[in-house]
Structure formats: structure tokens, C-alpha cells
Amino acid sequence: MPLLETVDRDGLVCGTPAVIVLHGADRPSGGAVLSVTIDDAAWWADARTQRWLQAACLRLLDGLFLYEGGAAYYASFGGEEMPVGALVSNRGRRAREYAVRARVRGEGMPEWRREWTQTVEADSFAEVRDDWTVPVADGPYDVSIELLADNQVVDRLQHQVQIWRPKMEPSYITAADGDFWQGRRKWYAHGINYMPSSGIATEDGEYFEHWISARAYDPAIIERDLTRVRKMGLNQVSVFMYYPHHRNRNLLDLLIRCEQKGLKVNLSLRPGTPLDFEWDWVREMITSLRLPENDTIYAYDLAWEPNWGMRAELTRWDAEWAEWLATKYGSVAEAEAAWGTSARREDGVVVGPDDTQLSQDGAWTPMVVAYRDFLNDLIRKYYGRARELVQRVDPNHLVSYRMSGAGDPLWAPPMTTYDFLGLADAVDFLSPEGYGRGGDWPNIKVGHWTMAYGRAVAPELPIFWAEFGESVWSSTQNAADPARVAHQGEYYNNFYRLMWETYSNGSCAWWYPGGFRVGENSDYGVIDPDGAWRPATHAIADWAARLTRSRERPEPDVVIPLDTRASGQGIFNLYLQSQEAFWRALDGGQHPTFEVR
């Protein structure tokens, strides 16, 4: 419960130096703490501060608080019964009589009012509620809950209920001819992976991870964050939601706020991946919130950084590998005859190649090449099926996923990544990640090769960098390192240079909130915890106009052959084959592409 707030020049809250914290995640019971973080001795010595502190302490000792209050949801489709009420917590030492006054106001409706008076015992709680009929109108509706004791208002909670309605003429983002489109105009994503600033430094993992849950979601903080996101010049956010948090309507509230700020949304639906697809859950999340009608969303993100991994992870596909050989070649024996080498076996059963075979060429190379073909077919099968299922219920939104090491030519085997060759027929756009492109320009520029490879194997698909970023946290300083903060800004400028030079269709930085992330011990934020801009923030704003401006890609003028059958090392070897010719052409001002065989 903020008692004092500091604001920036735009009136946005940038800190709460004095708060009352109500302990007890199990709702009503627990202690209460007054926390004041101001270390200015003159401020404390001021008579006004002392009067304020006395009042705050008396408020704390009184012990009567609104633990919760308001309507059941922050968003509605209208025309429904919605509970409105309060949960009153008495953390004092005596029973208290109290009153709760509820009001709902909105244009075109008479004020809805309710009032309850009752007693709550010491160290206990009481709940009051009644149903409000949400009008079939545009809203929003202002909900106010006041807690009164001794005829004085001692606590108040306020929020809005927003109404979502489908547009008469929605404008969905589409993908064709290697670009994103909004109507007849090309659209470029200049985005950020978003989680709210309220999760920074929390040790409560459930609260942090499930930020869109009823427990964690706070529209005041979301509104403040998204205002800052838009001010940077960004036009897109990537967010995630777990089943069953769709039932609390917070995603709907978030989408309304994004729409109001001109932000498109790439929505990850969790848990699972298309390899272990929770289709019933995914379908419920999509249909219950009427997402097919919502053009604020432009894509579904159906997996979070999967890779094939190494032999230990690949064992689950051994049975399908044997089946694939029988289908592809007629039998395992015929496959071995075609390769001129034997399939690998364990206890007489055909299994996939081991880590040595995946990372080194030898007599087994033809078998490993076939195995990589098999993995590509698995991607087409499972990811293609997931996309088909989603588009049966929602034909209006694109389907892809964040691809981790896919497309990264420096990701050396035996760690096996997905290949754009398999993904091209299973997604609506390619989504490589930029973490392999960390550091300075010589390493970042390798993304040119990734872009050229993606466009060679899937020329019709846009390419969107789903994540990139750099942490500024220093474990020795236990703070953001100023040198790393400065380098983060240089890194962002270099990565956006890559976006510009490669005519990328978009990117989404990791991530918005600055400050310490517990567990990962990192700070990837592009903005300080108090809302002050970092050098990375300035880079985001400086590049915004260029990266979202429509532009035509030049036609390739150099074709470099790539032989996928020459090695079992996959994309890593393809880069070794082509790097000399590729960089010579690029440094000479040419526009190379690949002929993949």
C-alpha cells in the first residue's frame, strides 16, 4: 500500500519511498509493516514529517485494512453479472465495526451503489459482495471501494472495468512474400519482451512467473509500464500466459491497454510445446477470450526456446527414427545399403547417432545426414500439426515460436538445434534469437549469415528476432555495473544496425524491466527500475523510425552453394563451407544468397 510516491516529469510513478506491507499470501491473516526508505536526515527532522509519521504509525496500529476490493475482473465483454465487493482484514487486537461502501460509475448508466455494515473479529477477516450487471456499452466503468470506521474513510481501492468489443473492420497482421503486412502496408515489429516492473527483485517465484494471474496482475503498474514502452518508440510487446489464468480476464485488460497505445502483441501460450502439445488447454485459452476476433494480437508463440539437445534428449525419438527409415527406404537394411554404413544399435535395437557421430564426420556421415532429415520431418509433422490445429479455431493470427539456436551457425554440435529447413513448412515466420550474437560487432554481424540462410530456405517467410539482449548486473558490485550499462547501449546500437543492414522484419529485445532478477542473477532491463532511461533505451528510441519504415530488399546478386549432404554437422558445417565466399561478397558490397542442396 503506497503512502508516498515519487513521480517523473510526465507524472508517472518512479518510486514508492514509503509503504505499508500486509504480510500473508493466504489472504487475510498476518502482520503489517511500515517501511520508509528515505535516508535524508533533514527530511526526518522536519516537523511535517514527524506529524506524517505519527499518523502513519497510528494507521498501522489500527490494523483495519482493505486486503482486496473492487470488481471480480478488470475487463468484460459486457452483459454479464460481475461480483463487486471487498475482503476486510483486521490485524488489530480488538473486534471492529466497519462499513464498506461500493460504487460503480460510468457514462450511460445510473450509479450502482451498495453498502455493508458489520463486525470483524481481531486477527480475522470478513468478506462482502454483490452482483453488478455490466452494461452492454463501451465503458470503461469506475469502481470505488471505501472502508469506513467510526464514520471515517480509512482505506480506499479504485480501478476500472474495461469493455472489449470486436472491431467492425479488424486489421490483422499477415505474412506474405517475406514480409509482415497490415493491409497493403508493410509492418515491422520494433518490440520488447514484457513482464511488469513489479516482478523485479521478488523472491516469490510464483508471483514473478505467473504475473498475469489474479494474484499478481496490477493494471496501474501495467498501464505505467506500457506508457513507458510506447514512449520509447516501440510498437510491439511479447508476453506469455499460463493456463488457466485466461479465466481471470487479465489478458483481455492487457490487450485493451496495448490497443490503446498502438502496441501489437505476440502471445505465448503455456505450458508445453508442439512436441507435447496441450491442445485442449490452448484451444480453451484462444476461444474463451475470443482471441480470433482481436487484431491487437498478431501471432501466437507456441514454444519457448526448444532444441533437440544431445543424445540424452534425442533418445525419446528412437522408435520414430526406426519407423521413418522403414517408410523412407523400405527397411533399415535398405537404408544401410544406400548409406554404405550401418545404423547405430543398442542391444540390437536401431537408435539415433551418438554425440561423437553428431559432432564429427566419419564413415557414419551418410547415416547422420539422414538422421538430420528425419529431425526436419519431425518438426514439419509436430509443429505443422500444432499450427493447423490453432488455425482451425483462429485463422486470423500467425503461428510461430522463439527458436533459440535455430539458424545460429556458430552453435556447434553435438548440441543439436532445430533447422530452418524443417521449420519452413511448419511456421508462418522464422524467429531466431540473438544471444549467440552477443558482444561486439564482429560477432553480431554473423546474423547476416542467419538472415541469408533463412531467406534462402524460406523466402516467403518474414524473419523476426524473437529475443536478444545483454545483462548489466555485476555480482561483485551487487548492482548494475555502469560499464556494462554503457556497453549494453553499444550492443543495442550494433544489433539494430544488423536489423537495418539485413532488412529484418522485426525484433523483440529481452526485456523491459530493469533491476535484479532473482534466481538468474541478471539484469537484462532496458530501463532503470525508477523509469530513467539507460543507453539501451536511447538506442531503442533512436532506431525506431528507421526500423519501422517500409523498405525494399535488394535482389541477391551472388549465389553460394550449400551442400547439406557433405557433412553430418548440420548448419555448423554449412557455415564452414560458405563463410569465406559469404563475407567476401558482403564486404564487397554484394548481396549474397545460398543455393541449398
DSSP 369-398: HHHHHHHHHHHHHHHHHHHHHHHHH-TTSE
Residue from 482, 458, 455, 487 nearest 470 by CA: 487
Q: Out of 106-110, 345-349, 367-371, which region has the weakest mean confidence (pLDDT)?
A: 106-110
Q: Buried (b) or exposed (e) across 158-183, using 16+ Cβ within 10 A?
A: ebbbbbbeeeeeeebbbbeebbbbee
Query: Residue 25: pLDDT above 70?
Result: no
Q: Can you tell me the distance from the alpha carbon of 33 to that of 10, in angstroms, rounded to the nearest whole number?
A: 30
What's the mean pLDDT in 237-250? 97
What's the mean pLDDT in 245-259? 98
Residue from 220, 291, 273 nearest 2 by CA: 220
Q: Can you tell me the distance from the alpha carbon of 173 to that of 329, in angstroms, rounded to the nearest whole number?
A: 42
Between strands 464-465 and 506-509, the pairing is parallel
Q: How confident is the model at residue 92 (pLDDT cuts 50, 70, 90)?
A: confident
- The pLDDT of residue 437 is 86
Q: Can you tell me the distance from the alpha carbon of 89 to that of 96, in angstroms, rounded to the nearest whole number?
A: 10
Whether the ω angle into residue 274 lies within 30 degrees of 0, i.e. cis, is no
Q: How many C-beta atoms lie closer than 10 Å to residue 495's C-beta?
A: 26
Query: Residue 31: pLDDT above 90?
Result: no
User: Average pLDDT, whole number, for the chain?
Assistant: 96
Q: At what angle do helices 447-457 and 482-501 cross, to 10 degrees?
A: 30
Q: Is 70 in contact with 84 (CB distance < 8 Å)?
A: yes
Q: Can you tell me the distance from the alpha carbon of 204 to that of 214, in angstroms, rounded to the nearest whole number?
A: 15
- The pLDDT of residue 23 is 84
- Written as one string, the DSSP assignment of 248-274 is G-HHHHHHHHHHHTT-EEEEEEES--G
pLDDT, tens digit (0-9, with 9 covering 90-100), for 268-290 = 999 999 999 999 999 999 999 99
What's the grid cell of residue 110? 445510473
- The pLDDT of residue 10 is 87
In one letter, which amino acid is 186? K
- Overall residue count recorded for the chain in this entry: 597
Between 382 and 109, the higher pLDDT residue: 382
Specify the long-range contacts of residues 388-392, CB closer than 8 Å, at least 24 apart. 389/277, 389/279, 389/282, 389/283, 390/282, 390/286, 390/300, 390/302
Q: Can you tell me the distance from the alpha carbon of 408 to that of 444, in angstroms, rounded to the nearest whole number?
A: 11
DSSP single-letter state for residue 554? P
- The pLDDT of residue 29 is 67
Q: Can you tell me the distance from the alpha carbon of 269 to that of 175, in angstroms, rounded to the nearest whole number?
A: 20
Q: At what angle do helices 365-393 and 332-339 cross, to 10 degrees?
A: 120
Q: Strand, helix or coil at 569?
A: coil
- Burial environment of residue 39 by CB neighbours within 10 A (0 to 12, 13 to 18, 19 or more): exposed
- The pLDDT of residue 86 is 96
- Burial environment of residue 595 by CB neighbours within 10 A (0 to 12, 13 to 18, 19 or more): exposed
Locate cell 505476440: which residue?
266
Domain boundaries, the chain: 1-62
- The pLDDT of residue 520 is 95
pLDDT, tens digit (0-9, with 9 covering 90-100), for 487-519 = 999 999 999 999 999 999 999 999 999 999 999
> What's the whole-model pTM score?
0.95
The secondary structure of 499-515, three-state, reads HHHCCCCEEEECCCECC
E strand or H helix at 579, and its extent? helix 571-587
Q: Can you tell me the distance from the alpha carbon of 256 to that of 276, in angstroms, rounded to the nearest whole number?
A: 31
What's the grid cell of residue 207? 508471483
Q: Which residues pair with 517 in a beta bridge?
A: 522
Q: How confident is the model at residue 24 (pLDDT cuts 50, 70, 90)?
A: confident
Q: Out of 101-105, 108-112, 260-264, 489-493, which region has the weakest mean confidence (pLDDT)?
A: 108-112
What's the mean pLDDT in 147-167? 96
Q: How confident is the model at residue 433 (pLDDT cuts 50, 70, 90)?
A: very high
Query: Residue 438: pLDDT above 90?
Result: no
Q: Strand, helix or coil at 138?
A: coil
Q: How confident is the model at residue 353 (pLDDT cuts 50, 70, 90)?
A: very high
